[in-house]
């Protein structure tokens, strides 16, 4: 395992322990509202700080971009860690056991290392650029369905921008008529990890943030998949929209999303 990936895995596990303790004591949670249908808890903040502290023990000069703490610049700006300490906070608050820790490392602007950790199932998805993707140490690959009729897809409703639901519903209707079925899990990082592991055949979402998808993007690419924006461009990380899956699935989804 790459040394930086090893540190990311350790950081994700430390955060996972904090999240599990919080999940077992949700009656004591204090949540804050960041925006419309957008929540944060002290657990999110504690987990993010624990991740940063763990990484800084080995790499004190690296930079960070965290969902809760924002962007901090270290002396070594070639390396930036992108962190979502608790992807699926609403599920966490409601007691739905489906959320994750997401950590990605950019090296000179390119995705280099990725970890998505599901602390409930103790599943850790990892990827290093050019080295493939793994689940708990075993190689994973995306599926290769012949067409959308064979697929189970993942997506998310535009719950923060409900005015966009009309446009979303039109594309959803077109995709649903062709695919096998659709799921809505509530954690973008896990959706992409599941695509990488072949549990889902494809995924699309709009209104997404870079910390939600950075680790997942590398996982899918290293598992043999394709990641684009809604018009098929291959650099979606900062676009606020994403399509992921095998090349054939992505091509079919983009056709309905353009």
pLDDT in tens, 31-44: 777 655 556 788 99
Residues found in the chain: 258
What pLDDT shows up at residue 165?
82
Whether 135 and 123 have beta carbons less than 8 Å apart is answered as: yes
Which residues of the chain have a pLDDT value below 70? 34-39
Considering the chain, tell me which residue range(s) the CATH 3.40.190.80 domain(s) occupy. 148-257
What pLDDT shows up at residue 1?
85
CATH C-level class of 3-139: alpha beta
Considering the chain, tell me which residue range(s) the CATH 3.30.540.10 domain(s) occupy. 3-139
pLDDT in tens, 157-202: 877 777 778 888 999 999 999 999 999 999 999 999 999 999 999 9
CATH C-level class of 148-257: alpha beta
What pLDDT shows up at residue 99?
97
What pLDDT shows up at residue 39?
64
What pLDDT shows up at residue 108?
95
What pLDDT shows up at residue 27?
75
Whether 212 and 98 have beta carbons less than 8 Å apart is answered as: no
């Amino acid at each position: 395992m790459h040394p930086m990936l090893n540190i990311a895995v350790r950081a994700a596990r430390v955060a996972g322990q904090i999240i599990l303790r919080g999940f077992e004591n949700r009656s004591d949670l204090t949540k804050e509202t960041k925006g419309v249908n957008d929540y944060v808890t002290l657990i999110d903040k504690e987990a993010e700080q624990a991740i940063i502290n763990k990484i800084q023990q080995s790499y004190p000069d690296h930079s960070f971009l965290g969902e809760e703490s924002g962007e901090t610049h270290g002396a070594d700006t070639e390396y930036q860690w992108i962190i979502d300490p608790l992807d699926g906070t609403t599920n966490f608050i409601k007691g739905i056991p489906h959320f994750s820790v997401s950590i990605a490392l950019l090296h000179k602007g390119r995705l280099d290392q990725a970890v998505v950790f599901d602390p409930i199932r103790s599943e850790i998805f990892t990827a290093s650029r050019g080295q493939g993707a793994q689940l708990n140490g075993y190689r994973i690959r995306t599926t290769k369905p012949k067409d959308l009729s064979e697929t189970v897809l993942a997506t998310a409703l535009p719950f923060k921008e409900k005015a966009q639901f009309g446009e979303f519903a039109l594309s959803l209707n077109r995709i649903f008529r062709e695919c096998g079925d659709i799921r809505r899990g509530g954690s973008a990082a896990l959706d992409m990890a599941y695509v990488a592991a072949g549990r889902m055949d494809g995924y699309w979402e709009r209104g997404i943030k870079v910390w939600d998808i950075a680790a997942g993007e590398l996982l899918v690419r290293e598992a043999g998949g394709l990641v684009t924006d809604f018009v098929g461009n291959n650099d979606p990380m900062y676009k606020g929209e994403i399509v992921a899956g095998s090349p054939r699935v992505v091509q079919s989804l983009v056709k309905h999303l353009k």
